[in-house]
Amino acid sequence: MVSVTSQTEEGRKPAPFPPWLRSTLATLGSITATLLGLLLVTFVIGRVMPIDPVLAIVGERASQETYDAVYHQLGLDKPLMVQFFYYLWDVVHGDFGNSLLTARPVSQDIARVFPATMELATLGVVIGMLLGIPMGVLSAVHRGTWVDQTIRVLTLVGYSMPIFWLGMMGLLLFYGILGWVGGPGRLDIFFEGLVPSVTGMVLVDALLAGDMDVFWNGFFHLILPASLLGYYSLAYISRMTRSFMLEQLSAEYITTARVKGLSERQVIWGHAFKNIRVQLVTVIALSYANLLEGSVLTEIIFSWPGIGSYITTALLSADMNAVLGGTVVVGLIFICLNILSDLLYKIFDPRAK
């Protein structure tokens, strides 16, 4: 009996670390491993690209002495592992090197262009969320009817249609023919520089300055590219919402709720939709990350000075510091949004704690 009791007491000994600390350490370990993997991939990309960073700096007519001096200055004569640690040290300190195009630090360039992409993607995902979720619910509730078929066709078109074609057609129709929206760029030339740049986002800066003329001019330029991104986001969110709702509507607790006499509104929004909110958090977060990273073609078509356009221009000009710096920032965005979705999990679903 003594041995059994002692074994039982030993089995009840508390863990060396409380659950919340173990969870925190596991999360930090996962984030660190992901960051290291991201930096390693970007480093390898920079080394395997068929672009000579030294020639991009000194030019093809430089002497061999100049070439060797820059080659040594960049640390390219050191072993790859040493180069990677130097690269890691610089990135941790926010140093991505200087851009060949602007001759400024890449970190400053990214800080300048990223707010434009964030403004565009944020309005796009808001449009996609506000329209996509109700459309997905409506499609699931009216499964197999003409309402469901119509919504599915609309979302299929938005999900599969090339966004560059939609952008050109949108410019031709709504700007060139109807004149309902602003053209390429963030503002008309007359309104540029009228409000101080505080956040880098035109609409927010205009509101802070109290200049509604600049606000509406920026809105008319923003609404078309944001709507196109919103249509793409709407297609994804609506399809996922429909799938989640169909699974919930076929569950037994929904039948029980209807037998109890609850209204259809209470059954759909109070029971079925409530149970898919956690899943939608991930869908919306991924959709937002995809818009921040994947708005390259939209930014090019609409001359939008965002990070996608910046990375594309840098790649075409062999500006690898800018390309790698932008890639790292986009990867960090995905990581941060995943962390945010995990935190929202615990808010919407206490069981996740």
Mean pLDDT of 186-215: 88
Quick one: tokens of 271? 């029971």
Residue 289 reports pLDDT greater than 80: yes
Q: What percent of the chain has pLDDT over 70?
A: 89
Q: For residues 12 and 81, which has the higher predicted lDDT (pLDDT)?
A: 81
Please give the pLDDT value at position 352.
56
Measure the CA–CA gap between 237 and 128, rounded to whole angstroms: 7
Residue 81 reports pLDDT greater than 50: yes
* Band (19; pLDDT cuts 50, 70, 90): low
Mean pLDDT of 208-229: 91
Quick one: tokens of 75? 């640390």
Quick one: tokens of 341? 């979705």
Residue 346 reports pLDDT greater than 80: no
Q: What is the DSSP string of 130-197?
A: HHHHHHHHHHHHTTTSHHHHHHHHHHHHHHHS-HHHHHHHHIIIIIIIS--S--SSSS-GGGTTSS--
Please give the pLDDT value at position 282.
83
CB neighbours of 153 closer than 8 A, spacing ≥ 6? none
Q: What percent of the chain has pLDDT over 90?
A: 13
Residue 353 reports pLDDT greater than 60: no
Q: Could you read off the pLDDT of 185-194 as tens digits, one per residue?
A: 888 888 888 8
Mean pLDDT of 251-271: 84
Estimate the crossing angle of helix 320-348 against helix 307-316, to 10 degrees: 150
Mean pLDDT of 290-299: 80
Mean pLDDT of 321-346: 80
Residue 2 reports pLDDT greater than 50: no
According to DSSP, residue 105 is labeled B
Measure the CA–CA gap between 110 and 97, rounded to whole angstroms: 12
CA angle 100, 48, 327 (to 5 degrees): 55
CA angle 59, 61, 64 (to 5 degrees): 95
Residues, the chain, total? 353
User: For the chain, what percentages of helix, strand and coil (3-state, to nearest 5) are there?
Assistant: 75, 0, 25
Output 100-106 pairs: Cβ under 8 A, ≥24 positions apart: 100/56, 100/57, 100/317, 100/318, 100/319, 100/321, 100/322, 101/313, 101/314, 101/317, 101/319, 101/322, 106/321, 106/322, 106/325, 106/326
Q: For residues 77 and 142, which has the higher predicted lDDT (pLDDT)?
A: 142
Mean pLDDT of 221-247: 91
Q: Could you read off the pLDDT of 106-162 as tens digits, one per residue?
A: 888 898 889 999 999 999 999 999 999 999 999 998 888 999 899 988 888 877 788
Please give the pLDDT value at position 184.
86
Whether pTM exceeds 0.75: yes
Q: Supply φ then ψ for residue 98, to 5 degrees.
A: -100, 145
Please give the pLDDT value at position 1.
46
- Find out whether 69 and 62 touch, Cβ atoms under 8 Å: no
Q: Could you name the CATH architecture of 108-352?
A: Orthogonal Bundle (1.10)
Both ends of the chain: CA-CA distance in Å?
A: 38
Cα 232–chain centre separation: 13
Residue 50 reports pLDDT greater than 80: no
Q: Could you read off the pLDDT of 332-342 as tens digits, one per residue?
A: 888 888 777 77
Query: What single-letter amino acid sits at 61?
Result: R
* Band (232; pLDDT cuts 50, 70, 90): confident
Measure the CA–CA gap between 187 and 265, rounded to whole angstroms: 44
Please provide the average confidence, as pLDDT, over all residues in the chain.
82
Where do the domains of the chain lie?
1-50, 51-93, 108-352
